[in-house]
Amino acid sequence: MVPSSVYQSRVWFITGCSSGFGRALAETVLERGERVVLTARNLQNVENLATSFANQTLAVQLDVTKPEEVQQAVKQAIAKFGHIDILVNNAGYGTLGAIEEVSDKAVRRQFETNVFGVLEMLRVVLPYMRQQRSGHILNISSEAAFVVGAGAGIYCSTKFALEGTSEALAKEVAPLGIKVTIVEPGSFRTDFVTRSLVVCDTRIKDYETATENLRQIVQDIQDFKIEEQGDPKKAALAMIQAVDCENPPLRLALGADAISGINNKLESIKAELDAWKEVSVNTTFDQVVANKTRSNAIL
| Catalytic site positions | 141, 155, 159
Q: Which residues contact 273 (CB under 8 A, 6 or more apart)?
A: 280
Strand order in the sheet with 11-14: 57-61, 35-40, 11-14, 86-89, 135-140, 178-185, 251-254
- Are 14 and 37 a contacting pair, CB within 8 Å? yes
Amino acid at site 127:
P
CA atoms of 291 and 144, how far apart (whole Å): 37
CA atoms of 9 and 289, how far apart (whole Å): 58
Taking residue 253's Cβ as centre, other Cβ atoms within 10 Å add up to 22
